[in-house]
Amino acid sequence: MRTVLFACLIASAVIALAAGPWLPLSGDGLHDPENPGIALLQQPQEALSVLAGDTAGNKVDWVRALRDNVISPRAHVADGDLPEVLESEVLMTNTSDTPYVVFPHKAHTEWMSCEVCHEELFRSEVGANDISMGHILDGEHCGRCHGAVAFPLTECNRCHSVFRDKIPAHLVEQLTPGDR
Amino acid sequence: MKVRLKCLLLTIAIIGMSTTVLWAEYADVIINERAEQEDMRPVIFPHWFHRIRYQCSACHVDLGFKMKAGGNGITMDRIIGGEFCGACHNGEIAWSTENCDLCHSGKAKLESGIRGSHETAGPGIF
């Protein structure tokens, strides 16, 4: 009896893993399964299972999906130029006891133009933004997207990624005399 | 069965099942400020579907969607007039507004807002 139960558990897990983490729309808790229109909507499984995987959020690494050229989202509804991709990285050192934060402009500008963040969410001058985890958890600054559409705030190390004893050479010039 | 093998299989089973208990799709937006008052199902906007086809700025800059659920004052009149969703959902780029059920597809009594947040998934792998 125990062996049978155990085998059932394993089998259900294998089926669940094979099906992927994306629920069908009719069972996602939001869509009304009685709605006749639901049959015409694309299922997340169909669209997302072919993209680079991740461990959080949609379980999709959206930056890699773009770089892999698996998707090529248009920049505008009408005709228009692609946004300029900016390579610069910003080091943030006021991070209490956690590793420093490095903000990559590249991954962000591959997905969107400057105006999405500047100047409303973020002022462009260094040090002009009162960024804190409190504000971010409240949905301000980085938290407008991270925790909503971009990787969630459980992924501390993806932003807090620079250890004080291993600062990459190209970021050293951004240190100020007060930094540890 | 050896104990170690049993433990391994059990771990796989737990991981397998935990990946299936996601609720909705990360970043789905429920829009129900007016829909149910007007006897329509709430709207579910899937970010995942749209971002495969358009970059963020297409909607959040060109079309003026504020990045705040409930902050846009979207009405059917404005959509039919070509604003917001109506910039594409006009029968030319995407399905037109006659296909009510395709957007108004949510269960009754859903609260407006974005589904996602830091509570949706466990910590990642550094």
Query: In this complex, which of B1, B16, B116 lies closest to A152 when CB atoms are compared?
Result: B116
What is the complex's ipTM, to 2 decimals?
0.89
Is A154–B26 a contact, with Cβ atoms under 8 angstroms apart?
Answer: no
Give me the pLDDT at residue A6, please.
67
Cα dihedral A56/A59/A61/A66 (nearest 10): -150
CB-based contact B47 A149, cutoff 8 Å: yes
In CATH, what number is assigned to the domain containing residue B33? 3.90.10.10
Domains of chain A, residue spans: 2-49, 89-172
Residue A162 CA, distance from chain mean position: 18
The total domain count for chain B is 1
Q: Which pLDDT belongs to residue B124? A: 36
At the top level of CATH, the class of A89-172 is alpha beta
- Any domain includes B32: yes
| C-alpha angle A32-B29-A152 in degrees, rounded to nearest 5 | 120
Q: Is residue B123 part of a domain?
A: no
Q: Which residue among A13, A44, A83 places its CB closest to the CB of B48? A: A44
> DSSP state, B75?
-
B95 lies in which domain range? 23-114
The reported pLDDT for the residue numbered B119 is 45
Residue B90 CA to residue A91 CA, distance in Å, equals: 44
Mean pLDDT per 10-residue run, chain B (126 residues)?
71 54 78 97 97 97 93 96 98 97 97 70 35
Closest CB from B6, B62, B107 relative to A30: B107
pTM listed for this prediction: 0.85
The distance of B107 to chain A (nearest Cα, Å) reads 4
Per-residue pLDDT of chain A (180 residues; tens, 9 = 90+): 677 666 766 666 565 555 568 999 999 999 999 999 999 999 999 999 999 999 988 999 999 999 999 999 999 998 888 889 999 999 999 999 999 999 999 999 999 999 999 999 999 999 999 999 988 988 899 999 998 999 998 899 999 999 999 999 999 999 998 886
